[in-house]
């Protein structure tokens, strides 16, 4: 049995009278690629913020990398990596400076940062770009680099919030190869995405709808259960977007 | 601590690599000091005045010569009668006309007094006031000479004009405190609110918040470079005004620098507060500019005296921090007064700083909820 690095029991998060997360229960295992799906507004972001120590649960137990999210969010922060949907490196710093900054923030010694930076540049095959400004790089490269920086301090878990938005299919493919490599090295990958083909690459996926987890299994099992060909069809079947109130559609702007 | 230092270094890199930021930090203060000092100077130099001398005697000759040799005025062609005054003014040839009536010298000796008129072009009220003040001062001086020589005593009765604190009426003295006040609020409030909202807009703020850096480290790390640089700016402005305009600091330099630090701190906390309520850089710029810069220029007493404002503006002005700092800095720099004269303003700035920091912390906590 694999060990759980994230354990969520009866997680509830309320904002006033609105319940964003309604009694979530799940576990994520070490070295796993866990897909976290759901329509916009289903409560994914809220859950992600709680798991990454940014926000505190209203009730329930959340344990990430061995620490309680309510009591020790600071300790959680030291043991996770994070990459958000917006590009997260500094455009006016060079690749090396960005890595040095994030390595430093996570308390890595300078010599280790330097050594790993050279390894990383070698691996990504852009050693000669090391002193280029980030703003000079194409989006695909930036995205790959942002991911490498997110796992640079070798966290236990890395959270990826829609990491491949706006990236071309080839780069997305390469990006997923990096994710696989990372998972193989023992880092757990927790990824949210809107691309259903990407969901197929995950070891297990959970689908959220209206604040609840309505499905959680391997892609293959889910497809079998709902008797469909693709995860996309599973998603459409069960993850309905919240129904707008009566008359709401008339005033909504699309 | 090491984490924190790396973070500060990064902020300095942002500043030094951005051309526009560098211009705002060092170009604008230098330009403002020089422009205000030289171009918008409120001194008069070579102002053209004409004389209408209907008496043409020894005394009027002496007074005219004295006025013209003062260095402030240049003598235009003499006028021949009253009708020409209007013409000379309208053509813009002269800024003022000085009139001696018939029998000026005779009246002076026989009656002990005589009247001369100074007619100034009121369409430029500032210059007009200055010219009349200067001429009056010169004539007063002439009276003294006369009184010294003869036994008749004071002959010409003139209103005494004395300028406290700025006897030579040097205009840029007044501008230096104003420029410091304005520059500091520009750099500290505007720039910090922009730099913090920029991280929000680009998504790097999320990454920083998820990192082991504490929110307070992030904020302090972002504003500390601006604190240091704006302090350097103040010193630069003071040194520049000293070298170029011979501006002395009459009061205590240490007190001045301490008060300046307090004001920088206040501006930074205001900048942080703005960044907690604005989502985009545009919002932050809009708020800093319309909410701070314009009122600072117009209402804080920087250019227009508060005493002349309608009462309602005076109330608005009372909530603007620069208004108090201007009083402090003018007191210390120009009048040379000590802390006893500015403690009230200092206290108000301290209360404002505490208030802004408190509000920012509250807003920040709500955001993280």
Residue of A46, A64, A80, A86 to mutate, interface with B, max B Cβ within 10 Å: A86
**pLDDT, position A248:** 40
Gap from B367 CA to chain A (nearest CA, Å): 9
The number of C-beta contacts closer than 8 angstroms across A and B is 75
Residues 199 to 228 of B: which have CB under 8 A from any A CB?
Answer: 202-204, 206-214
Least confident of A89-93, B1-5, B77-81: B1-5
Other Cβ atoms less than 10 A from the Cβ of B293: the count is 17
User: How close B7 comes to chain A (CA, Å)?
Assistant: 7
B13 contacts A92? CB cut-off 8 A: yes
Q: pLDDT of B13-65, one tens digit each?
A: 989 988 888 888 888 888 888 877 676 555 667 788 888 888 888 888 888 88
CATH code of the domain made up of B47-149: 3.40.1710.10
Please give the pLDDT value at position A251.
35
The DSSP string of A64-126 is ETTEETTT-HHHHHHTEEEE-SS--S-TTSBHHHHHHHHHHHTT--HHHHHHHHHHHHHHHT-
The DSSP call for residue B79 is B
More confident residue, A164 or B174: A164
Residue B161 has pLDDT above 50, yes or no: no
Report ipTM for this prediction: 0.83
Give the gap in angstroms from C-alpha B261 to the nearest C-alpha of chain A: 29
The structural domains of chain B, with segments of one domain joined by +, span 2-40+170-368, 47-149
- Flag if B212 and A88 touch (Cβ within 8 Å): no
What's the pLDDT band for A205 if we cut at 50, 70, 90?
Answer: very high
Cβ contacts of A64 within 8 Å, gap of 6 or more:
A5, A6, A51, A52, A53, A76, A79, A80, A157
Best A99, A104, A111, A158 residue to mutate vs chain B (most B CBs within 10 Å): A104
B204 interaction partners in chain A (CB closer than 8 Å) = 88-90
Please judge whether A52 and B210 are an interchain contact, meaning their C-beta atoms are less than 8 angstroms apart. Answer: yes
Is A100:A117 a contact under the CB 8 Å cutoff?
yes
B357 CA to chain A: closest CA distance, Å? Answer: 21
Q: Do B10 and A93 touch (CB under 8 A)?
A: yes
Cβ contact (<8 Å) for A100 and B203?
no
Rounded Cα gap, residues A204 and A189, in angstroms: 11
**pLDDT class of A62 with cuts at 50, 70, 90:** very high
Predicted local distance difference test score (pLDDT) of residue B349: 94
CA distances B163 to B133, B137, B139, B169, Å, are: 9, 10, 15, 7
Average pLDDT, rounded, for chain B? 81
Asked if A107 and B3 come within 8 Å (Cβ–Cβ), the reply is yes
The predicted-structure confidence for A137-162, as pLDDT tens digits, reads as follows 888 888 888 999 999 999 999 999 88
Please list every residue in chain B whose beta carbon sits closer than 8 Å to the beta carbon of residue A85.
203
Hey, are the CB atoms on B206 and A93 less than 8 Å from each other?
Answer: no
- Asked if B2 has any chain A CB less than 8 Å from its own CB, the reply is yes
The per-residue pLDDT for A228 is: 87
pLDDT tops 80 at residue A10: yes
Q: B7, B15, B210, B213: best mutation site toward chain A, by most A Cβ within 10 Å? A: B210
Comparing A239 with A182, which gets the higher pLDDT? A182
Tell me the CA distances in angstroms from B10 to A96, A115, B16, B82, one per residue in order: 12, 20, 10, 72
- On the question of pLDDT at A43 being above 80, the answer is yes
pLDDT of the residue at B302? 67
| pLDDT 10s digits, B180-203 | 888 888 888 888 898 889 888 888
Across the range A172-190, mean pLDDT stands at 92
Nearest C-alpha in B relative to A14: B369
d(CA B310, CA A71): 56
Q: How many CB atoms lie within 10 A of CB B274?
A: 26
pLDDT of residue B173: 62
- Closest-CA residue to B225 (of B30, B28, B9, B18): B9
Which residues in chain B are contacts of A88 at CB distance < 8 A? Answer: 202-204, 206-207
Of B6, B211, B214, Cβ closest to residue A100:
B6
> Can you tell me the mean pLDDT for B241-252?
81
Order of strands, edge to edge, in the sheet holding A80-83? A80-83, A157-161, A188-192, A33-38, A204-209, A212-217
Eight-state DSSP code of residue B115: -
Q: Confirm or reject contact between B8 and chain A (CB < 8 A).
A: no
| pTM score | 0.75
**What integer pLDDT is reported at residue A151 of this predicted model?**
92
Q: What's the CA gap between B327 and B346, in Å, rounded? A: 10
* pLDDT for res B160: 40
Residue of chain A whose Cα is closest to the Cα of B7:
A101
Q: For B167, which DSSP code?
A: T
Which chain B residues are within 8 Å of A90, Cβ to Cβ?
A: 10, 14, 204
Can you tell me the distance from the alpha carbon of B175 to that of B248, in angstroms, rounded to the nearest whole number? Answer: 13
Going by C-beta distance under 8 Å and a sequence separation of 6 or more, which residues neighbour residue B183?
B28, B29, B32, B230, B233, B237
Q: How far away is chain A from the Cα of B187, in angstroms, using its nearest Cα?
A: 20
In terms of pLDDT, which residue wins out, B313 or A46? A46
Cβ contact A105–B368 (<8 Å):
no
Q: Decide which of A214 and B113 is more confident.
A: A214
Nearest to B207 among A88, A93, A104 (CB): A88
Which residue in A has a C-alpha nearest to residue B209's C-alpha? A54
Tell me the mean pLDDT in the region A216-241: 85
Within 8 A of A102 by CB-CB distance, chain B residues are 211
The two tokens of residue A70 are: 């309510």
Q: Is pLDDT at A240 greater than 70 in this prediction?
A: no
Cross-chain CB nearest to A54 (options B9, B13, B368): B368
Question: Measured between CA atoms, how close is A167 to chain B, in angstroms?
Answer: 17
DSSP for B198-266, please give it.
HHHHHTHHHHHHHSSS-HHHHHHHHHHHHHHHHHHHHHHHHHHHHHHH-----S-HHHHHHHHHHHHHH
Q: Given a cut of 60, is residue A249 above it in pLDDT? A: no
Give CA–CA dist A43/A178, Å, rounded: 27
Kindly list the residues from chain A whose CB atom is less than 8 angstroms away from the CB atom of residue B368. 54-55
List residues of chain A with CB under 8 Å from any CB of chain B. Answer: 15, 52-56, 74, 77-78, 80, 82-93, 97, 100-102, 104-107, 159
Residues B282-292 have a mean pLDDT of: 85
Tell me the shortest Cα–Cα distance from A12 to chain B, in angstroms: 14
As a whole number of angstroms, the distance between CA B120 and CA B277 comes to 52
**In Å, what is the CA distance from B331 to each residue of B258, B304, B341?**
14, 17, 8
pLDDT digits (tens, 9 = 90+) for A102-136: 999 998 999 999 999 999 998 888 788 888 888 88
Please list, residue by residue across A33-45, b when 16 or more beta carbons sit within 10 angstroms of its beta carbon and e when fewer do.
Answer: bbbbbbbeebbbb
Q: Does B263 score more than 50 pLDDT?
A: yes
**Subunit contact B203:A83, Cβ cutoff 8 A:** no
The partner residue sitting opposite B212, judged by closest CB among A78, A89, A90, is: A78
Cβ neighbours of B132 (radius 10 Å):
16
Each residue's pLDDT tens digit, B120-150 = 776 665 677 778 778 887 887 887 777 766 5
Helix runs in A125-253, H state only:
139-150, 169-184, 196-201, 219-226, 231-238, 248-251
- Among A169-178, B160-169, B314-323, which stretch is predicted with the lowest mean pLDDT? B160-169
Tens digits of residue pLDDT in B308-348: 677 777 787 888 888 899 889 888 887 788 888 889 999 99
Q: Looking at per-residue confidence, does A208 or B108 come out higher?
A: A208
Among chain A residues, the shortest Cα distance to B368 is held by: A55
């Amino acid at each position: 049995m694999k060990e759980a690095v994230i354990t969520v029991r009866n997680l509830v998060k309320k904002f006033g009278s609105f319940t964003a997360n309604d009694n979530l229960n799940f576990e994520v295992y070490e070295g796993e690629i866990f897909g976290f799906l759901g329509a916009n507004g289903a409560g994914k972001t809220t859950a992600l913020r709680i798991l990454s120590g940014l926000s505190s649960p209203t009730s329930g137990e959340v344990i990430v990398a061995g620490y309680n999210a309510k009591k020790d969010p600071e300790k959680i922060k030291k043991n996770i990596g994070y990459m958000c949907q917006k590009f997260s490196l500094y455009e006016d710093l060079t690749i090396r400076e960005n890595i040095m900054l994030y390595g430093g923030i996570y308390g890595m010694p300078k010599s280790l940062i330097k050594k790993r930076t050279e390894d990383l540049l070698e691996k990504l095959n852009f050693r000669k770009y090391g002193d280029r400004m980030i703003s000079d790089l194409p989006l695909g490269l930036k995205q790959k680099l942002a991911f490498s920086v997110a796992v640079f301090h070798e966290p236990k878990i890395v959270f990826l919030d829609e990491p491949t938005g706006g990236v071309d299919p080839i780069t997305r493919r390469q990006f997923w190869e990096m994710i696989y490599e990372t998972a193989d090295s023992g880092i757990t990958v927790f990824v949210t995405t809107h691309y259903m083909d990407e969901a197929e690459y995950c070891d297990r996926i959970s689908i959220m709808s209206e604040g609840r987890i309505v499905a959680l299994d391997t892609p293959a099992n889910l497809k079998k259960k709902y008797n469909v060909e693709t995860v996309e069809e599973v998603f459409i079947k069960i993850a309905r977007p919240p129904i707008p109130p009566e008359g709401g559609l008339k005033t909504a702007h699309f | 601590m090491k984490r924190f230092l790396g973070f500060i270094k990064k902020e300095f890199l942002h500043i030094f690599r951005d051309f526009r930021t560098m211009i705002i930090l060092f170009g604008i203060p230098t330009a403002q000091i020089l422009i205000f000092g030289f171009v918008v100077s409120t001194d008069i130099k070579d102002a053209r005045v004409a004389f209408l001398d209907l008496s043409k005697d020894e005394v009027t000759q002496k007074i005219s010569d004295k006025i013209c040799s003062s260095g402030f005025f240049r003598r235009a062609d003499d006028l021949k009668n009253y009708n020409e005054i209007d013409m000379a003014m309208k053509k813009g040839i002269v800024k003022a006309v000085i009139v001696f009536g018939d029998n000026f010298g005779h009246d002076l000796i026989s009656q002990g007094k005589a009247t001369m008129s100074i007619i100034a072009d009121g369409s430029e009220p500032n210059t007009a006031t200055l010219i009349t003040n200067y001429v009056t001062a010169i004539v007063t001086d002439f009276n003294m000479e006369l009184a010294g020589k003869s036994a008749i005593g004071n002959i010409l009765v003139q209103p005494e004009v004395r300028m406290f604190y700025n006897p030579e009426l040097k205009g840029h003295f007044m501008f230096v405190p104003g420029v410091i006040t304005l520059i500091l609020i520009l750099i500290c409030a505007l720039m910090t609110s922009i730099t913090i909202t920029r991280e929000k807009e680009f998504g790097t703020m999320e990454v920083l918040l998820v990192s082991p850096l504490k929110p307070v480290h992030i904020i302090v790390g972002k504003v500390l470079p601006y604190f240091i640089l704006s302090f350097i700016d103040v010193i630069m402005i003071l040194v520049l005004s000293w070298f170029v305009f011979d501006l002395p600091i009459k009061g205590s330099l240490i007190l001045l620098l301490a008060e300046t630090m307090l004001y920088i701190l206040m501006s930074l906390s205001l900048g942080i507060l703005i960044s907690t309520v604005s989502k985009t850089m545009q919002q932050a710029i809009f708020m800093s500019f319309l909410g701070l810069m314009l009122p600072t220029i117009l209402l804080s007493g920087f250019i227009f005296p508060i005493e002349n404002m309608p009462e309602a503006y005076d109330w608005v002005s009372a909530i603007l921090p620069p208004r108090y700092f201007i009083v402090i800095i003018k007191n210390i720099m120009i009048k040379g007064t000590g802390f006893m004269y500015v403690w009230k303003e200092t206290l108000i700035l301290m209360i404002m700083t505490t208030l802004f920091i408190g509000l920012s912390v509250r807003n920040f906590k709500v955001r993280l909820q």
